[in-house]
Chain A
Amino acid sequence: MTDQAPAVLVSGVSKIFNDGTPKRVEALVGVDLRVERGEFVSLIGPSGCGKSTLLRLIANLLEPTSGDIAVNGKSASQSRLEQDYGMAFQQSGLFDWRTVAKNIELPLELKGWDKAKRAERAREMLELVKLPEFADLYPWQLSGGMQQRIAIARALAAHPQLLLMDEPFGALDEMTREYMQGELLRICAETKTTVVFVTHSIPEAVYLSNRVVVMSPRPGRITKVIDVNLSGERTEDTRNADDFFHGITAVREGLRGTHADHANAGAVRGVEDR
């Protein structure tokens, strides 16, 4: 039964911070989102649109004010307790006092795996991200792109079906970023992982995703969902293909709506000022 359930099902979710105080913020209102298994879905929007909040709600790092969230047919908190998903952030969040291999083993330690099994899986994951020779180094001895690959390896170490990523390539330079995008697609295809990916790069969202979810701020909400589905396998040529540019245009137009909101807000303020 649960095998047919979608990877993520968000229904009527709102999140309000500091409710009942002057600092009350409507981070999200009335959000519905369904992510099928094996899908790659990006959340995009200007800052303050609640995309990171939505990701944290799915991860059960935050509780919704109202509405329901199900992950793999279970409640979000049940999924977190069963380590159904892996997570990666803009900061790699690796532990400086652990070697690369020990960093990857962390989620397995918490699951109570024995030492030999952990070491074996860490070796596998290092092969997957193509950094097998770095097992015994410390994270600060690696470049930013390598650190991020280790963070992905850690997120996937327990073979979760779902990967939640919050601007994981945001701090990388453009060339490394494009390389990492290709690597991420390869890894997800090999491991058949579902991904929910937060970004504010339009080309990144289009290149990676099956669907791009466009969000807008004040209050944070979903304004548009764009099917991208670039044909065939992603290669470097994909970035020059017509499909890719159509996708970018569609997302940009979707986002323009959110900027019109900005303009309106400005106009209203302008009126008030007078």
Chain B
Amino acid sequence: MTERLRRIAPPLVFGIAFLALWEGLVWVFALKPYFLAAPSKIFGEFVDNAERVWEAASVSGLNALVGLIAGTVLGVAMSFVLSRYRFLGEVVTPLAIALNAIPIFVLVAVLNNMYSITSETPRRIMVTLVVYFIVLVNVAKGLTQVRSTHVEIMRSYAASEFEILRKVRVPNARPYLFTALKIAAPASVITAFVSEYFGGSQNGLGSRITSNIANSRNATAWAYVLGACMLGLGFYVISVVLENATSKGGGGTNTSKEQH
């Protein structure tokens, strides 16, 4: 217990000190709310608008979640195809990495033209695309970069390619999948927000932040930012919990129960 306290105390103290400094600066220099709102004011707005923040968060959150699930399913499926047909992998992987490096969420502007103005679909497609490439690159790596000794052992036991896939490649790729999810989960939330900046319904966290800033309601905008932080953090925590729940025995990730 004290061990745990010792671990969480430093970041906790730092966080409180940071907020205190922020509050102090606003108070000492009498900063105007449109320049920088005080944390106490932001928190007050957050509480007052809790219901609206929650509504906006559920819109953005649902977009992120739908995209995250769809992108993960598609990414995993495609990585199996790529690991089976290596030449395809050589064609697709550089493209996937390149697409991963540029902010492809600007594509949402194009997608918006394809669907009705109130549709959430373009945003969900956008999240799906971002998640898809993250999952694809990582899981494909996990499926193909297996230790050569493992493959030789399996071949010496006359194992078929399918058995090697099931008993070596898939278990080897499992930690890669969770690494991908830990990156993809917060990225899905960010993509869902940013997608809202390119038009469409003004019902999510991202659009609420811009519209409140446009109306000089900075503290309220900050309250939505706080909601956005919590949503992103929530997604990350879920991915970590999922990883811990499916791994056993510490260092070795293991979900391969009885396979026969």
Contacts and interface: CB of A to CB of B under 8 A. Distances in A.
Could you say which interface size class chain B belongs to?
20 to 34
B149 interface: yes
Interface in B137-164: 147, 149-150, 152-159, 163
Interface in A77-96: 80-83, 85-87, 89, 91, 93, 95-96
Given A89-B152, A91-B147, A140-B251, A97 B256 contact: yes
A97 B257 CA distance: 10
B174 A106 contact: no
A119 to B, nearest CB: 11
Given A97-B254, A115-B260, A110 B157 contact: yes
Contacts of B159: 110
A146 B232 CA distance: 45
Contacts of A96: 251-252, 254
A98 B163 CA distance: 15
Nearest to A88: B153
Contacts of B10: none
Contacts of B252: 96-97, 138-140
A138 B249 CA distance: 7
Among A85, A86, A96, the one with the most B-chain Cβ atoms within 10 Å of its Cβ is: A96
Contacts of B3: none
Contacts of A97: 171, 174, 252-256
A96 B255 CA distance: 11
Contacts of A91: 147, 149
B51 interface: no
Among A93, A138, A140, the one with the most B-chain Cβ atoms within 10 Å of its Cβ is: A93
Interface string B162-192: 0100011001001000000000000000000
A265 interface: no
Contacts of B260: 109, 114-115
A87 B167 CA distance: 18
A7 to B, nearest CB: 16
Nearest to B174: A97
Contacts of B174: 97
A61 B149 CA distance: 12
Contacts of B147: 91, 93
Nearest to A164: B156
A101 B158 CA distance: 20
Contacts of A109: 167, 259-260
Interface in B215-260: 249-256, 258-260
Nearest to B170: A97
B156 A61 contact: yes
A164 B150 CA distance: 15
Nearest to A115: B260
Interface string B114-155: 000000000000000000000000000000000101101111
Nearest to A89: B149
A59 interface: yes
Given A89-B149, A98-B256, A80 B156 contact: yes
A87 B150 contact: no
Contact of B158 (A80, A106, A138): A80
A185 B250 CA distance: 35
Nearest to B256: A97
B150 A95 contact: yes
Nearest to B152: A61
A110 B152 contact: no
A109 B157 CA distance: 10
Contacts of B168: 95
Contacts of B256: 97-98
B165 to A, nearest CB: 13
Given A87-B156, A95-B168, A138-B249, A110 B163 contact: yes
A107 interface: yes
B233 to A, nearest CB: 29
A110 B158 contact: yes
Interface string A97-113: 11100000011011000
A248 to B, nearest CB: 30
Nearest to B259: A109
Given A95-B168, A97-B254, A139-B252, 14 more contacts: A80-B155, A86-B156, A87-B156, A89-B149, A91-B147, A93-B150, A95-B150, A96-B252, A97-B252, A98-B254, A106-B167, A109-B167, A110-B154, A110-B159
24 contacts: A56-B152, A59-B156, A61-B152, A80-B155, A81-B158, A82-B158, A86-B156, A87-B156, A93-B147, A93-B153, A95-B167, A96-B251, A96-B252, A96-B254, A97-B253, A106-B153, A106-B157, A109-B167, A109-B259, A110-B154, A110-B157, A110-B159, A138-B250, A138-B251
Interface of A: 56, 59, 61, 80-83, 85-87, 89, 91, 93, 95-99, 106-107, 109-110, 114-115, 138-140, 164
The 5 A-B pairs with the shortest beta carbon distances in the complex, nearest first, are A93-B149, A96-B252, A97-B254, A87-B156, A97-B171
